[in-house]
């Protein structure tokens, strides 16, 4: 098959989504997953007239009449039942989070008071009625939808779910994935490599990327033995719904994977994309529905392909529409070859709040140390060869920019 263009490859990947499982999970295990139910308020938000400052509660009508000295009738901490005042011409000391007592409507903070013995004196004149009170139902009413089905669950969503007593949530769960490294030269990270060996590392970056989406991952390694690779891969395809291979997919004498996948009856959707890095990228689906991503072995290539394509596959499958991020080049870049160029960049904001990228040229797709100082890949289209400072392009982040 001829090389295909980046946009075509991306669309093919999106057109072969997985069907997510629906599971009930404990709230703590839902971060990064997609909500499969609407969450509604089980009571008004806030559920009562809630004091928002430590100080005293008064009836504003008494202050409006000119009263500035208030005898303290009672002290009320948070977490106690609502109190009814006996004399609206007096005050109560009250703490943040407490229920506003019946008969009072305004809170004056301690910083604006002098308290001597059992009397509070108001030292300022700029008191507003109902200040420092978060009134019942101001935020949401009983039955209001707080989170819609399809929401990606992050830290704010955890707060909301817990506030309405949802100890478990119905969520969409991505398929389990196995990340497979290949090659005799690779050894485990616990091993001291010999001069001709390197540690397996790229699989850990891909694992971290997938884990951000709630994908459960396992690791596996295959040496360059075709018969054993075929046996291993056949078993793994039967076990996992997502197979991510790194290495063994190019034109080398020991790059057996394309041939093995064909022999196993895996349908190839494409092999080789008109891009740098990651040209040898292979994508297909097995007869049982498992999806196979066979990525180049060089760590920058495999990480780029995972960041762009596997991330897009997960988003499409879960019906997530990611925000398009546009960035401005802060220096000129030349790339004379007619390939879509994914260039590692560091980011910064200028004085106007525009997101700028500083691209840097490494030492090829094996130069994974550059990833530590980059924030993502700027996508430079194949139709151009010179990309000028100030021009705007799409950007794929692989770390939180903010």
**In terms of C-beta density within 10 A (0-12 exposed, 13-18 middle, 19 or more buried), how is residue 127 classed?**
middle
Q: Has residue 371 got a pLDDT over 80?
A: no
pLDDT in the model for residue 118: 94
pLDDT in the model for residue 254: 55
| Residue found under tokens 């817990």 | 162
In Å, how far are 82, 319, 398 from 151, measured between CA atoms? 36, 10, 21
* 163-204: pLDDT as tens digits: 999 999 999 999 999 999 998 888 888 988 889 988 888 899
For residue 49, give the DSSP letter: -
* 118-142: pLDDT as tens digits: 999 999 999 999 999 999 999 999 9
* 338-348: pLDDT as tens digits: 999 999 999 99
pLDDT class of 2 with cuts at 50, 70, 90: confident
Write the CB contacts of 35 (distance below 8 Å, at least 6 apart in sequence). 147, 148, 149, 150, 151, 152, 153, 157, 169, 170, 171, 172
Beta carbons of 269 and 226 less than 8 angstroms apart: no
Evaluate the CA torsion angle 296, 297, 301, 306 in order and state its sign.
positive
pLDDT class of 85 with cuts at 50, 70, 90: very high
* 289-324: pLDDT as tens digits: 999 999 998 888 999 999 999 999 999 999 998 888
Q: Has residue 366 got a pLDDT over 50?
A: no
Query: What integer best gives the mean pLDDT of the chain?
Result: 92
**Residue (of 76, 82, 83, 77) closest to 47 by Cα position:** 82
Write the CB contacts of 352 (distance below 8 Å, at least 6 apart in sequence). none
Q: Has residue 30 got a pLDDT over 90?
A: yes
* 65-77: pLDDT as tens digits: 999 999 999 999 9
- Please give the model's pTM, rounded to 2 decimal places: 0.83
pLDDT in the model for residue 253: 64
């Amino acid at each position: 098959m001829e090389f295909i263009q980046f946009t075509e490859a991306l669309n093919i990947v999106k057109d072969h989504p997985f069907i997510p499982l629906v599971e009930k999970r404990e709230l703590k295990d839902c971060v990064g997953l997609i909500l499969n139910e609407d969450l509604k308020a089980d009571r008004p938000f806030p559920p009562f007239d809630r004091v928002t400052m430590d100080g005293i509660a008064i009836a504003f009508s008494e202050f409006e009449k000119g009263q500035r000295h208030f005898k303290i009738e009672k002290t009320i901490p948070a977490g106690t039942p609502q109190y009814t005042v006996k004399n609206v011409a007096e005050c109560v000391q009250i703490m943040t989070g407490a229920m506003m007592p019946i008969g009072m409507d305004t809170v004056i903070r301690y910083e604006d008071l002098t308290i001597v013995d059992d009397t509070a004196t108001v030292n300022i004149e700029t008191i507003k009625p109902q200040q420092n009170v978060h009134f019942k139902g101001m935020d949401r009413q009983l039955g209001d939808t707080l989170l819609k089905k399809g929401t990606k669950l992050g830290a704010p969503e955890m707060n909301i779910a817990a506030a309405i007593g949802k100890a478990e949530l119905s969520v969409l769960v991505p398929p389990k994935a196995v990340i497979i490294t290949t090659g005799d030269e690779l050894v485990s990270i616990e091993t001291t490599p010999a001069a001709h060996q390197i540690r397996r590392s790229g699989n850990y970056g891909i694992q971290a990327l997938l884990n951000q989406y709630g994908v459960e991952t396992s690791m596996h390694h295959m040496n360059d033995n075709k018969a054993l690779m075929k046996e291993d891969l056949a078993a793994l395809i039967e076990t996992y719904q997502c197979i991510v291979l790194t290495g063994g997919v190019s034109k080398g004498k020991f790059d057996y994977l394309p041939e093995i996948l064909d022999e196993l009856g895996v349908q190839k959707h494409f092999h080789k994309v008109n891009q740098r890095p990651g040209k040898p990228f292979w994508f297909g689906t097995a007869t049982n529905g498992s999806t196979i991503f066979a990525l180049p072995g060089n760590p920058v290539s495999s990480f780029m392909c995972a960041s762009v394509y596997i991330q897009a596959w997960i988003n499409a499958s879960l019906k997530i529409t990611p925000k398009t991020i546009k960035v401005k080049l802060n220096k000129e870049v030349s790339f004379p070859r007619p390939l879509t160029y994914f260039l590692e960049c560091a980011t910064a904001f200028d004085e106007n709040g525009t997101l700028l990228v500083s691209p840097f040229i490494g030492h090829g797709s094996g130069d994974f140390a550059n990833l530590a100082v980059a924030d993502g890949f700027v996508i430079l289209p194949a139709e151009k060869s010179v990309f000028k400072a100030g021009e705007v392009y799409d950007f794929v982040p692989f770390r939180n920019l903010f």
